[in-house]
A and B are shown apart, each in its own frame.
Chain A
Amino acid sequence: MHDQTSPSSVQRASPDHDPACPVSIHDLTVAYHRRPVLWDIDYAGPEGQLIGIVGPNGAGKSTLIKACLNLVPIASGSVSFYGKPYRQQRRLVGYVPQRESVDWDFPASVLDVVTMGRYGRLPWCLPPTREDRRVALHCLEQVGMADYARRQISRLSGGQQQRVFLARALAQDARIYFMDEPFAGVDAATETAIVGILRELRARGRTVLIVHHDLQTVAEYFNHVILLNMRIIAAGPTAQVFTQENLQKTYGGRLTLLDKAAQAMALNGNR
């Protein structure tokens, strides 16, 4: 339903807050300690696609996701979801953080963690209902972890933890998902399970943006891709964008001028 027919592989035309566009990022710049890590990101995500975010370490992939979700402050620019800012669209957006971002020794069962995906639908101070737990259990079934529902989360393998996080995102029942390296450090069985879930999400018309590291599998897993290295190098359908030439641009060294400018801003910046 989006401008997939656009001949340009690089979608630069920003449809300002287009209500049909699941994620539109308009001229986004993000800085840590005044040092910009993302420059002038313009992107309009097509609906119902699996979109890989690919780039070298330090390219700002996780930062891009966090900026979209208001988790890091934005220096300039804006992000909208179906035409409205994030605050108004929380329910439509699901998030899978990196597995290492939480303490797995936390005293909770697998089902407890998956049920947290439902918390966004609950008013303050009210506990999850039986229905929420039922949905959570169903989501655990979908990732093949129903047998582990009562297990303490520290007694899971890395792949199982990742599947629990995925089940939690499914419990959010969102229309747009952001996933930060869901494939990092998982076993082959989990990787297959995750790919299956992603394809099902796509079949149900969900839009998924996924930070990904393994270039080998990009073409197989994602039908859209964003090549990122502090700026968007190219974005669009994988077949058109994921080319040797674009990869060269993404990985073959940064624009040194960007680095120098960022450095100068970090050293002499005056906010």
Chain B
Amino acid sequence: MTGWNWHLDGWIVLAGVLSACSCALLGNYLVLRRMSLMGDAISHAVLPGLAIAFLVTHSRSAVPMFAGAVIAGVVTAVLSQAVNRHGKVEHGAAMGVVFSVLFALGLILIRQAADHVDLDPGCVLYGNIAQIPLEAIGGRVPPQVVNLAVVLVVDVLFVVLFYKELKISTFDPELATTLGYNADTLHYALMVLVSVTTVANFESVGSILVIAMLIVPAVTAHLLTDRLSAMIGVSLMAACLSAIGGHVFAAFGPGWLGMKAATNTSAMMAVVAGLLLCAAVLLAPRHGLVSRLLHRRQMRMTILREDILGLLHRWQEMRAEGGRAMTHREVLAAVGDTRSVRQAIRSLLRKQFVEKASGPPDAGHTYRLSGDGQARAARLIRSHRLWESYIDRHFNLPPDHVHMSAERVEHFLTPELRHEIEADLTSPRTDPHGREIPPESIGG
């Protein structure tokens, strides 16, 4: 392919978008009901449906094939539910049991009775989306695009009309049932639609894309949103992006990489959906890896800064070295000589919690707590020593065992918790080591 051609690429992208959107729309409910494998199960289990439809009608015309496949899909849903309930097997395993057996049954049926039906595995896997524009001769809309559009309209109507019913029966099926929205009825209605959608999309875009689109955009959207309507919206956007991006990469990507042939469109659409999911996993605002890493880093830096404040406080309290200020080298020796420690010191200086002075020759600078720094440090030491006293009173440990947990907890105690501990200990003056516990009022 050399350039973009609306007559060719336009139809392919449209088919991809329609297909991806109808799958993604229903996929939201499958993901939230923890039944994402349903698409996989149904797309395998349609095989015996196709075979039986052929055996009964002796034709490969579309209507009986479609009916057979949809019935097989619904049977899959019903059987998985039954295996789940009566076989004491969890949902995923139940679906696995049902679809593998049905798929095998389909293979046997086809081998035995319908060997001359050409079942092209390639076609099943990635469909024949590239052939869709060939049907558009003479300016008419390719019939497959019409089918996909009809399915999407039906799915959208279903979700819009039964939005509240689907929402409550997905979140709390028991309550839904007691309120008169029978959760089982809604479940099977959804399963019928998933079957219809899967089967209708199967031929044009192939099972890989159907399975991917039922799961991946919805999972992506779940990571990025915290309202159902937003989740549905984002999943549809992800589906459209995957369809468009997939086709662009499939058509032109190999060229960009210096290869000649265009690659398979459906498969590339699924790959783009996967890439979008990766991006969401990394960048999601609350659950994303990047934001979690940043948060953890910030937390570590806060702890480090507080440790240095505590160290300076204890040094000044003990009047070590005749009350001389602590040197840079001594701080590094106590806390560790790492880049983060030096960074924490710089940050403390910048925030004016610590003041710098020139120290004795060849010992570097010396550090002293400022007024604000003193207050922060006293709060920390108070937390530390209150905790030690609390553990000492309630845990019956030797005094030298209480330091480590206090070293960790001191950074997290809120004023309320400190107050509670103080009340529990009836206003202690000193910690188990006999050191003074600074009063709360010093803190700002």
A: residues with CB less than 8 A from B are: 66, 69-71, 90, 93, 95, 97, 101-103, 106-109, 112-113, 116, 119-120, 122, 124-128, 152, 154, 168
Contacts and interface: CB of A to CB of B under 8 A. Distances in A.
B366 to A, nearest CB: 45
A125 B161 CA distance: 5
Contacts of B176: 119
Contacts of B164: 119, 122, 125-128
A93 B171 contact: no
B316 interface: no
A102 B227 CA distance: 16
B171 A116 contact: yes
A95 B175 contact: yes
B181 interface: yes
Given A90-B178, A95-B178, A125-B162, 14 more contacts: A103-B32, A106-B32, A106-B228, A107-B226, A108-B171, A108-B226, A112-B228, A116-B168, A116-B172, A119-B181, A120-B178, A124-B165, A125-B164, A127-B163
A269 B167 CA distance: 39
Chain B: interface size category: 20 to 34
Contacts of B168: 116, 119
A205 B348 CA distance: 62
A6 B77 CA distance: 53
B165 A116 contact: no
A70 B161 contact: no
Contact of B227 (A66, A90, A108, A122): A108
Contact of A106 (B171, B175, B230): B171
Contacts of B177: 70-71
B227 A97 contact: no
B368 interface: no
A107 B230 CA distance: 9
B172 A97 contact: yes
Contact of A97 (B165, B167, B174): B174
Nearest to B88: A33
A152 B223 CA distance: 13
Contacts of A128: 164
Contact of A71 (B34, B178, B181, B231): B178
B222 interface: yes
A103 to B, nearest CB: 7
A101 B181 contact: no
A112 B171 CA distance: 11
A-B complex: 6 closest residue pairs judged by Cβ atoms:
A120-B179, A152-B226, A106-B171, A107-B231, A95-B178, A125-B161
Contacts of B179: 90, 119-120
A30 B102 CA distance: 35
19 contacts: A69-B178, A71-B177, A90-B180, A93-B178, A95-B175, A95-B178, A101-B172, A102-B172, A103-B34, A106-B32, A107-B225, A107-B227, A108-B226, A109-B226, A112-B227, A116-B168, A119-B181, A120-B180, A152-B226
B170 interface: yes
Taking each of B34, B172, B175, which has the highest tally of chain A beta carbons within 10 Å of its own beta carbon?
A: B175
B370 to A, nearest CB: 37
